[in-house]
């Protein structure tokens, strides 16, 4: 596995939080993790080093030394889809060629590249290409992050349908932001997702007070429920070196 995509049913559902947790969990196991936020759009740049806040969060989690432009080839300075943002700001339009080159360069340098999407699968990159086209070209195994609040079932089913239309390799769903005091509706939502989504529900992440203080709780769930699905033993020779010496077969 060269890469893994974390997409979402919408913007603000927890893609960055889940991707960063996964990066930290992999790194803690001796995997050389690269990160990519191929397309980002926000009101102005985040810092001198990283134009996008998401790139900054993920690069920090990975201890990445790659440049901002390698990890985030396309940044737009208005919060909108790349298609709309490039028209408004007159910044360069997305070039699939550029972004695929950037991914390949990162994939050479790292055991695995965790890629965070932008918005959801149908975000238009250009007049003729969506974010799902990018995922399809790379054939990246995909995790879909969804929120647990009103409207999410509709977004989940739309996302799963879109992933089928593009023949994407969806590993499963992460239900994020599950309320602390769950009501009957909250609990039934999870049952409904299991029954209706048509893809596996990988895990449920609780709503935490502050992500920075409680990130270990999220990492624990990710390590327990998602990591075993990634077959990391095939990713890195260094991983084996970290294993206690025993009967190597």
What does the block give as tokens for 165? 């239309």
- Residue 8 binds which of ligand ADP, Mg ion, none (CB < 5-8 A, kind-dependent): ligand ADP
- For residue 16, state whether it binds Mg ion (rule: CB under 5 A): yes
Listed in sequence order, the residues at least 6 apart from 200 whose beta carbon sits closer than 8 Å to its beta carbon are 171, 172, 173
Give the one residue of 2, 3, 5, 15 binding ligand ADP; rule: CB under 6 A. 15
Nearest residue (CB) to ligand ADP, 19 versus 99: 19
Q: Does residue 13 bind ligand ADP (CB under 6 A)?
A: yes
Nearer CB in complex with ligand ADP: 31/61:
61
Question: Would you say 7 or 163 has its CB closer to Mg ion?
Answer: 7
Question: Which residues partner with 40 through β-bridges?
Answer: 75
CB 5 within 8 A of CB 115: yes
Q: Which residues, other chains included, contact 194 with Cβ-Cβ below 8 Å and sequence gap of 6+? A: 201
**What is the Cα–Cα distance from 226 to 96, expressed in whole angstroms?**
29
8 touches 15 (CB < 8 A): yes
Q: Closest distance between ligand ADP and the C-beta of residue 82, in Å?
A: 15
Positions annotated as catalytic residues are 37
* Per CB under 6 A, 11 contacts ligand ADP: yes
Q: Rule CB under 6 A: say whether 12 interacts with ligand ADP.
A: yes
In the list 6, 7, 9, 15, the residue contacting Mg ion (rule: CB under 5 A) is: 15
Decide if 157 contacts 163 (C-beta within 8 A): no
- Counting residues that bind Mg ion (by CB under 5 A) gives 3
Q: Is 176 in the site for ligand ADP (CB under 6 A)?
A: yes
CA distance 227 to 22: 8
Q: Considering only residues 5, 17, 202, 223, which one is a binding residue for ligand ADP as defined by CB under 6 A? A: 17
| Residue 24 backbone phi and psi in degrees, to 5 | -65, -40
Query: Which partner from the list ligand ADP, Mg ion, none does 82 bind, CB cut-off 5 to 8 Å by kind?
Result: none
Question: Nearest distance from residue 33's CB to ligand ADP, in Å?
Answer: 17
DSSP code, position 167: T
> How many residues are present in the chain?
249
- Which positions touch Mg ion (CB under 5 A)? 15-16, 54
- Which positions touch ligand ADP (CB under 6 A)? 8, 11-17, 176-177, 205, 207-208, 211
């Amino acid at each position: 596995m060269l890469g893994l995509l974390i997409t979402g049913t919408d913007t603000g559902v927890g893609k960055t939080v889940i991707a960063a947790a996964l990066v930290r969990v992999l790194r803690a196991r001796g995997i050389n993790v690269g990160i990519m936020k191929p397309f980002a759009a926000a009101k102005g740049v985040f810092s001198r080093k990283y134009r996008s806040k998401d790139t900054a969060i993920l690069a920090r989690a990975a201890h990445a030394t790659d440049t901002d432009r390698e990890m985030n080839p396309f940044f737009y300075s208005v919060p909108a889809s790349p298609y709309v943002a490039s028209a408004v700001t007159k910044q360069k339009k997305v070039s699939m060629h550029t972004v695929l080159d950037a991914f390949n360069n990162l994939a050479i340098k790292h055991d695995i590249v965790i890629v965070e999407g932008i918005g959801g699968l149908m975000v238009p990159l250009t007049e003729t290409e969506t974010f799902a086209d990018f995922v399809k070209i790379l054939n990246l195994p995909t995790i879909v992050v969804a929120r647990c609040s009103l409207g999410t079932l509709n977004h989940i089913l739309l996302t799963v349908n879109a992933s089928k239309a593009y023949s994407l390799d969806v590993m499963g769903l992460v239900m994020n932001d599950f309320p602390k005091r769950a009501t009957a509706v909250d609990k039934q939502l999870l049952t409904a997702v299991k029954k209706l989504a048509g893809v596996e529900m990988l895990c449920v992440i609780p709503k935490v007070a502050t992500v920075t203080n409680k990130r270990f709780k999220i990492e624990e769930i990710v390590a327990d429920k998602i990591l075993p699905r990634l077959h990391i033993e095939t990713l890195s020779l260094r991983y084996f070196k970290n294993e206690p010496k025993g009967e190597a077969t």
